[in-house]
């Protein structure tokens, strides 16, 4: 497969950036990083407890044996404890976890804000991430365990999570907020299992990773350029997972990306290369805290699936190659998800400076969904993909609109 000059440039820049961090740490002078953030070592439940919020951890087992952890804030500090609080499920994006919606603290993170506004808040953790890394029979180090993408998360993970929440709360319906891949998962479920549409009042898609033809982020682009050969090669060397939560990443965050470190600008450049860096909305001092909880891991096949959709320009099932596609789908190409079956009212929010899910792709998602009730562009022109979770002013730019939408629908 032949790469264009731009493709080679993207791959090279990524390699150079990673190498630069290591060299800068080894060769750079001494520095005096700021005091260690005490939240770095805390789990989701511990974070909630620290800030005085009730915290629960729940376990569900999918039909194909994956053991998933759900986190819950049954009520907030600023709203009274009462029965029948409307449940809301928040689903993170790729390589992330439930901590994403709590990491910036009670006044800035969506989880706390929703709980204080009177909602029963649930957080999903998709298969393979730090909190959902077990299986009934499969070894997490095996190829069989990692043989999934966001398709399986949509047809196995979300349905069991939905049913569990409704049973546990005694409610007939819930609302859903999905960020990036979290939106992809929902649309897979609602199109492949349309009976689940009736279980939701409303769905909010934050920068939905559905159509991603114009994606400019290097990692998914590399998978798009290399095709299935990259997945095959990595699997050949026993690599099935990408960007797991490790001590090395935490070390990089604490020492290389901390305030006062001469290498912090390199961390910012790498962040900018991969997801775009919004200087006005990103608290650089929080990088050690963020990197202590993210990334949280994903399967190689999940990234490969996104790479395939970049190439096809469509929202469709996993492409196994013509021969296996005929066996699996009875067609040479994988079928597209039938978005016309999604009847849940949907609100879409997107950022203008998103290099992962380009605004041009978001328009296409809006056009194929039959029941889009709100289509909102974040007012900050520099708003990026990760700003939906970590932006300094996410509350005023995004979360206040989310509250208005939830109250309306």
Nearest-angstrom CA–CA distance, 185 and 188: 5
**Residue 181: helix, strand or coil by DSSP?**
helix
What integer pLDDT is reported at residue 269 of this predicted model?
79
Nearest-angstrom CA–CA distance, 6 and 154: 33
Of 232, 177, 242, 170, nearest to 204 (Cα)? 177
Total domains in the fold of the chain:
1
Q: Model-level pTM?
A: 0.89
Nearest-angstrom CA–CA distance, 121 and 53: 11
Decide if 292 contacts 41 (C-beta within 8 A): yes
- Mind listing the pLDDT tens digit of every residue in the chain (409 residues)? 444 433 334 343 344 344 444 444 343 433 444 456 778 878 889 999 999 999 999 999 999 999 999 999 999 998 877 778 999 999 999 999 999 999 999 999 999 999 999 999 999 999 999 999 999 999 999 999 999 999 999 999 999 999 999 999 999 999 999 999 999 999 999 999 999 999 999 999 999 999 999 999 998 999 999 988 888 889 888 899 887 776 666 677 677 787 778 878 878 777 777 777 787 888 888 888 887 777 888 999 999 999 999 999 999 999 999 999 999 999 999 999 999 999 999 999 999 999 999 999 999 999 999 999 999 999 999 999 999 999 999 999 999 999 999 999 9
Question: Which residues are known catalytic residues?
Answer: 180, 385
What integer pLDDT is reported at residue 102 of this predicted model?
95
Residue recorded with tokens 């290097």: 218
Nearest-angstrom CA–CA distance, 247 and 254: 10
Which residue(s) pair with 179 in the sheet? 206
What integer pLDDT is reported at residue 228 of this predicted model?
85
Decide if 87 contacts 171 (C-beta within 8 A): yes
Of 282, 402, 306, nearest to 357 (Cα)? 306
What is the distance in angstroms between the CA of the first residue and the CA of the last residue of the chain? 49
Domain that holds residue 389: 5-408
Total residues belonging to the chain: 409
Decide if 360 contacts 330 (C-beta within 8 A): no
Kind of pairing, strands 66-73 and 56-61? antiparallel
What integer pLDDT is reported at residue 10 of this predicted model?
39
CA distances from 264 to 24, 261, 320 (A): 10, 5, 41
What integer pLDDT is reported at residue 29 of this predicted model?
37
CATH number at residue 207: 3.40.50.1820
What integer pLDDT is reported at residue 271 of this predicted model?
76
Decide if 288 contacts 258 (C-beta within 8 A): yes
What integer pLDDT is reported at residue 37 of this predicted model?
73
Of 354, 355, 239, 254, nearest to 298 (Cα)? 239
User: Which H, E and C letters describe 50-63, residue by residue?
Assistant: HCCCCCEEEEEECC
**Which runs of E-coded beta strand occur in 115-233?**
120-124, 134-135, 174-179, 200-206
- Neighbouring CB atoms inside 10 A of 280's CB total 11
What integer pLDDT is reported at residue 25 of this predicted model?
37
């Amino acid at each position: 497969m032949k790469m264009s000059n731009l493709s080679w440039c993207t791959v090279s820049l990524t390699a150079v950036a990673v190498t630069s961090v290591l060299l800068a740490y080894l060769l750079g002078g001494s520095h005096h990083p700021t005091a260690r953030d005490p939240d770095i070592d805390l789990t989701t439940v511990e974070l909630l407890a620290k800030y005085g919020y009730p915290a629960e951890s729940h376990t569900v087992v999918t039909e194909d044996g994956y053991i998933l952890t759900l986190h819950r804030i049954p009520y907030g500090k600023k709203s009274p404890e009462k029965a029948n609080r409307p449940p809301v499920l928040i689903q993170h994006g790729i390589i992330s976890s439930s901590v994403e919606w709590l990491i910036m603290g009670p006044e800035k993170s969506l989880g706390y804000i929703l709980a204080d506004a009177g909602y029963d808040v649930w957080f999903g953790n998709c298969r393979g991430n730090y909190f959902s890394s077990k299986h009934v029979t499969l070894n997490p180090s095996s190829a069989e365990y990692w043989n999934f993408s966001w398709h399986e998360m949509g047809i196995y993970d979300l349905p069991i999570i939905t049913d569990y929440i409704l049973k546990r709360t005694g409610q007939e319906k819930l609302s859903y907020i999905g960020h990036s891949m979290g939106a992809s998962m929902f649309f897979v479920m609602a199109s492949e299992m349309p009976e689940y549409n009736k279980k939701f009042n409303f769905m909010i898609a934050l920068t939905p990773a559905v159509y991603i033809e114009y994606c400019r982020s290097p990692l998914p682009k590399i998978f798009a350029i290399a095709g299935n050969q990259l997945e095959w090669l990595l699997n050949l060397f026993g690599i099935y997972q990408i960007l797991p939560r490790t001590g090395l990443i935490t070390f990089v965050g604490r020492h290389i990306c901390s305030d006062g470190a001469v290498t912090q600008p390199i961390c910012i450049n790498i962040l900018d290369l991969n997801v775009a860096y919004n200087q006005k909305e990103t608290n650089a001092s929080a990088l050690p805290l963020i990197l202590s909880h993210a990334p949280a891991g994903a399967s190689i096949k999940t990234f490969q699936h996104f790479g395939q959709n970049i190439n096809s320009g469509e929202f469709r099932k996993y492409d196994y190659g013509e021969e296996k596609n005929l066996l699996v789908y009875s067609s040479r190409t994988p079928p597209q998800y039938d978005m016309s079956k999604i009847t849940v009212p949907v609100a879409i929010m997107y950022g203008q400076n998103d290099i992962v899910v380009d605004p041009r792709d978001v328009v296409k998602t809006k056009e194929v969904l039959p029941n889009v009730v709100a289509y909102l562009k974040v007012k900050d022109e520099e708003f990026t993909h990760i700003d939906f979770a970590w932006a300094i002013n996410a509350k005023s730019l995004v979360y206040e609109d989310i509250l208005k939408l939830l109250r309306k629908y």
